[in-house]
Amino acid sequence: MNFFSKTRVIFWLLLVLVFINISALVTFFLFYKGEKKQATEKGGDYTFRIFQKELSLTQEQSDKVCSINARHRSVAEPVSSALKAKRAELLEELAKEHPDTLLLNTYAEEIGALQKELQKATIYHYLDLKTVCDSQQCRKLSSFYFQLYGGKEPGMGQGKRIQNRFRHGQRN
């Protein structure tokens, strides 16, 4: 009789655990789907959320930023795809035993032109975003782009870097 009671307890325990796992999976999928749906309704990309949070955008500004980002994506994504394709062609040519240097030079020029086009699109994107922002938001936007491109913010000069170049008599 003791055997049957232990078996029943284990059976019910396993049944409860299965129920908990199934409910957790259902909850996860519902939450994930709802989060994805909410992201696509609001403009859906990471850049938009960062701009909205960091710049403290109003609803009107958020709508404008969303349309500016969509316009930028429509220009930048095809150029970026073409750039990836050209880089792949360049690498394929370089992988050959005897690569054609004229073809490599052509690829390099085409890649340069595509990078130039992409950089121009980024510049216009930044300028469009500046038209939406007030002066405080423009400073934050500028700081964001400086961090994005790895540059020094205006007014931060080279003095600190040179000053800390040698520490404790050792060169870093």
pLDDT for residue 113: 94
Dist. CA 52–CA 38, nearest whole Å = 15
pLDDT the model gives residue 162: 46
Give me the pLDDT at residue 14, please. Answer: 87
Domain boundaries along the sequence of the chain: 1-41, 46-150
pLDDT along the chain (172 residues), means of 10: 73 87 84 58 60 81 86 91 92 91 93 93 90 86 80 56 50 48
Q: What is the pTM of this model?
A: 0.59
Measured between alpha carbons, how far is 125 from 117 in angstroms, rounded to an integer?
A: 12
Q: Which CATH entry fits the domain spanning 46-150: 2.40.30.110, 1.10.3720.10, 1.20.120.1490, 3.90.1520.10?
A: 1.20.120.1490
**pLDDT at site 9:** 82
Q: What pLDDT is recorded for position 172?
A: 46
pLDDT at residue 110, rounded to an integer: 93
